[in-house]
Structure 1
Amino acid sequence: MSHYLKFCLGSSVVIGVVLAGTPALAQEQMTAPQQAEQNSGIGDIVVTARQRSESLQRVPDAISAFSQSTLVNANIKNVTDLSRLTPNLNFRDGRAFSANFFDIRMRGIGSAQGGWPSVSLIVDGVPTSSSDALTAGSLAGVERIEVLRGPQSALYGFNAIAGAINIVTKRPTNDFTGEARVYYGNGDDLQASAAVSGALIADKVLLRISGQYRDDDGRINSQTNGVHLDFHNRKSFESRLILVPTERFEADIRTTYDREHGGYSFQGRGSVAGNISDVINTKNPVFARREPGTQTRTFGRVAARLKYDADIVELSSVTSYDKGRQHGVGSACYDDVNAPSFPAPDGLGGTLCLANTRAFGNRAAAGQVIERFQAGSDDIDAFFQDVRIASKDSETIEWLVGGSGLWRRVDSVTRNFNEVAGTLNRPQVSFTHNRKYDKWWGVYGQISAHLGNFELTANGRYDRQKYKNTSYADFGYTNIIRVPDQTGVLQNSQHERAHSFQPKGQISYKIDETKMVYVTASRGFRAGYFNVGSFAIPEKTTNYEAGFKTSWFDRKLVANASVFHIDYSNQQLFATTNVAPFRIPVTVPKTRIKGAELETSVRIAEPITLSATLAYLDADVTNGTTSPRAPKWSGSFSGQVDQPLNDVWTLNARADMSWHSAQFLAVGNTQRVPKKQYLNARIGVEREGYGVYFVGQNLTNTQEPQIQASATTPYRIIYPVDPRSYGVELRVQF
Structure 2
Amino acid sequence: MGIRTLFTAGVALAAIVAPQAGLAQADGAAAPAGAADNGEVVVTARRRAENVQDVPIAVSVVDSRTLDANGTFNVAKLVQIQPSLTFYSTNPRNSAANIRGLGAPFGLTNDGIEQGVGVYIDQVYNSRIAAATFDFLDVEQVEVLRGPQGTLYGKNTTAGAINITTRAPTFTFEGRAELTVGNLDYVQAKASVSGPLIDDKLAIRLAASATERRGTIYNVTSDKWVNAQNNRGFRGSLLWKATDALNLTLSADYNRQNPECCAQIYARVGSTQRPLNRQFAALAAAFNYAPPSINAFDRLTDLDSPLDAFQEIGGVSLRAEWQLGAGTLTSVSAWRFWNWGPSNDRDFIGLPITTISANPSKQNQYSQELRYAVSGDRLDYVFGLFAYHQRQHTTGTQQQGPAASRWLLNPTSANAGNPAVLDGLRSENDIWLRTTSLAAFGQLSWKVTDRLSLQPGLRVNYDRKSGSYVATVITGSGVVASCTSNNGLNSDQRGVLAPQCYDPRFSDWNVSGDFTIAYDVSDDVHAYATYAKSFKSGGINLNGLPLDNNNNPILSTATVKPEDVNHFEIGLKTQFLDRRATLNLAAFWTEISDYQANVTNNQVGVLRGYLANANKVRVRGIEADFQARATRRLNVYASGAFTDHEYVKFTDAPCPPELAGGATAGAGQTPGAPGVPGGLSPANCDISGQWLPGISKWSFSYGGEYHLPAKLFGEDGEAYVAFDGSYRSKFSSNPSRSIYTDIDGYALANVRAGFRTASGWDIFGWVRNAFDRNYYELLATQSGSTGLVVGQPADPRTYGVTAKARF
Is 1:703 the equivalent of 2:774?
yes
- What corresponds to 1:325 in structure 2? 339
1:497 aligns with 2:507: yes
- For 1:222-261, list aligned pairs within 5 A: 222-223=219-220, 226-261=223-258
For 1:315, the equivalent position in structure 2 comes to: 329
Deviation at 1:719, TM superposition (A): 2.3
Amino acid at match of 1:436: L
Offset at residue 632 of structure 1 (A) = 1.0
Cα displacement (A) at 1:706: 2.8
Please state which structure has a larger fraction of its residues in strand: 1
Aligned equivalent of 2:569: 545
2:725 paired residue number: 657
The CA deviation at 1:93 is 2.8
In structure 1, what residue type is equivalent to 2:504?
Answer: Q
Contact 2:427/2:472, CA 8 A, preserved across alignment: no
Cα 1:689–1:389 shift into 2, 3 Å = closer
Is 2:713 the partner of 1:633?
A: no
CA contact (8 A) 1:272 1:711 kept: no
- 1:529 matched to 2:539? The reply is yes
Distance 1:583 1:682, change over 3 A: farther
Structure 1 CA distance for aligned equivalents of residues 265 and 168 of structure 2: 43
Match of 2:796 in 1: 723
- Aligned equivalent of 2:101: 108
What residue number does 2:173 align with? 176
CA contact (8 A) 2:723 2:749 kept: yes
Q: Conserved in 2, the CA contact under 8 Å of 1:515 and 1:551? A: yes
Hey, what does 2:745 align to over in structure 1?
Answer: 675
Match of 1:462 among 460, 463, 478: 460
Report what 2:578 is aligned to.
554
The equivalent position to 1:398 in structure 2, one of 373, 380, 388, is: 380
Find the aligned partners of 2:429 and 2:101 in 1 and give their Cα distance: 32
1:143 is matched with 140
RMSD, aligned CA? 2.8
Match of 2:764 among 693, 699, 703: 693
What SS does the aligned partner of 1:263 have? coil
Q: Deviations over 1:533-567 (max 9, x none)?
A: 53232112101111100000112211000111111
Q: Which amino acid aligns with 1:629?
A: G
For 1:325 and 1:579, how far apart are their aligned partners in 2?
A: 27
Which moved further from structure 2: 318-327 or 137-146? 137-146
Match of 2:390 in 1: 408
| Offset at residue 480 of structure 1 (A) | 8.8
- CA drift of 1:667 comes to 3.6
Per the alignment, in what secondary structure is the counterpart of residue 140 of structure 1? coil
Equivalent residue letter for 2:316: V
Structure 1: distance between partners of 2:753 and 2:138:
21
Q: Is the 8 A contact 2:463 2:508 kept in 1?
A: yes
Report whether the alignment pairs 1:210 with 2:199: no
TM superposition shift of 1:290: 4.4
Q: Give 3-state SS (helix, strand or coil) of 1:109's partner.
A: coil
Letter in 2 for 1:620: E
- The alpha carbon displacement at 1:58 in A equals 0.9
SS of aligned partner of 2:689: coil
Task: Give the aligned partner of residue 21 of structure 2.
Answer: none
Q: Aligned pair in 2 of structure 1 residues 625, 284: CA closer, same or farther (>3 Å)?
A: farther
**Aligned residue number for residue 24 of structure 1:** none
Q: 2:35 touches 2:42 (CA, 8 Å); kept in 1?
A: no
* Change over 3 Å in CA distance of 1:153–1:183 after alignment to 2: same
The superposition leaves residues 195-235 of structure 1 with CA deviations (integer Å, 9 ceiling, x where unpaired) of 11000012210110011112222222225664111122222
- 2:413 corresponding residue in structure 1: none
Quick one: which of 36, 41, 45 aligns to 1:45? 41
Tell me the residue number matched to 2:79: 83
Structure 1 129/634 Cα, relative in aligned 2: closer, same or farther at 3 Å? same
Q: Does 1:62 align with 2:86?
A: no
**TM-score, with length taken from structure 2:** 0.76
Distance 1:558 1:627 in 2: 32
SS for the counterpart of 2:131 is helix
Any idea what the Cα deviations from partners look like across 1:506-547, whole Å, max 9, x if unmatched?
111112211111111112221122232532321121011111
Matched AA of 1:548:
L
**What secondary structure does 1:707 align onto?**
strand
Against the structure 1 CA distance between its residues 726 and 491, is the aligned structure 2 distance closer, same or farther, given a 3 Å change threshold? closer
Match of 1:596 in 2: 622
1:334 alignment partner in structure 2: 348
Distance 1:284 1:178 in 2: 43
Distance 1:285 1:697, change over 3 A: closer
Q: Which amino acid aligns with 1:56?
A: V
Q: For 1:398-444, what per-residue CA distance to the aligned partner results, in whole angstroms no more than 9, with x for missing partners?
A: 112211011001112321236789x9xx9452222210110100001
The residue aligned with 2:365 is 382
Distance 2:200 2:747 in 1: 49
Q: Offset of 1:42 from its aligned partner?
A: 12
Contact 1:702 1:723 survives alignment (8 Å): yes
Does structure 1 conserve the Cα–Cα contact (< 8 Å) formed by 2:352 and 2:400?
no
Paired residue for 2:707?
Answer: 642
SS at match of 1:157: coil
Q: After superposition, give the CA deviation of every residue in 1:100-144 in whole Å (9 maximum; x if it has no partner).
A: 223322112131322322211111111112222222x32121111
TM-score (norm 1): 0.83
Q: How does 1:439-458 map to 2 (within 5 A)?
A: 439-450=436-447, 451-458=449-456
Larger radius of gyration: 2
Aligned residues: 647
Change (3 A) 1:376 1:332: same
- 2:23 aligned partner: none
Query: What is the one-letter code of the residue matched to 1:678?
Result: L
Q: Which amino acid aligns with 2:523?
A: E
Provide the rounded CA distance (Å) in 1 between the counterparts of 2:457 and 2:264.
Answer: 45
Taking a change above 3 Å as real, the CA distance of residues 42 and 397 of structure 1, as seen in their structure-2 partners, is: closer
- 2:564–2:594 Cα contact (<8 Å) kept: yes
Q: 1:300 to 1:573 in 2, by over 3 A?
A: same
Q: Which residue is equivalent to 1:582?
A: 608
Instruction: Tell me the residue number matched to 1:353.
Output: 353
- 2:11 is matched with which residue? none
Q: Among 647, 660, 664, which residue is 1:621 paired with?
A: 647
Distance 2:777 2:560 in 1: 23
Structure 2: which amino acid aligns with 1:310?
L
Q: Matches of 1:507 and 1:661 in 2, distance apart?
A: 34
- The answer to whether the 8 Å contact 1:614/1:636 transfers is yes
Q: In the TM superposition, what is the alpha-carbon distance from 1:572 to its structure 2 partner?
A: 1.8
The change in CA–CA distance for 1:109 and 1:249 in structure 2 (over 3 A counts) is same
**What amino acid does structure 1 have at the position aligned with 2:451?**
N
CA contact (8 A) 1:266 1:292 kept: no
- For residues 82 and 274 of structure 1, do their structure 2 counterparts lie closer, same or farther at Cα, with a shift above 3 Å needed? farther
Q: Tell me which amino acid in the other structure corresponds to 2:608.
A: F
Shift of 1:288: 2.5
CA, structure 1 residues 632+418, in 2 after alignment: closer, same or farther (shift >3 Å)? closer
Q: 1:282 to 1:409 in 2, by over 3 A?
A: closer
Deviation, structure 1 residue 605 = 1.6
CA distance in 2, matches of 1:681, 1:527: 43
Match of 2:694, SS state, is coil
Residue 329 of structure 1, CA deviation: 1.4
Amino acid across the alignment from 2:79: S
- 1-structure distance, mates of 2:222, 2:467: 43
Structure 1 CA distance for aligned equivalents of residues 435 and 607 of structure 2: 20
Whether the 8 Å CA contact 2:100–2:643 is kept in 1: the answer is yes
Work out whether residues 296 and 791 of structure 2, in 8 Å CA contact, stay in contact via their aligned partners in 1. Answer: no
Contact 1:574 1:583 in 2 (8 A): yes
Once residues 160 and 753 of structure 2 are traced to their aligned partners in structure 1, the CA distance between those partners, rounded to angstroms, is 33
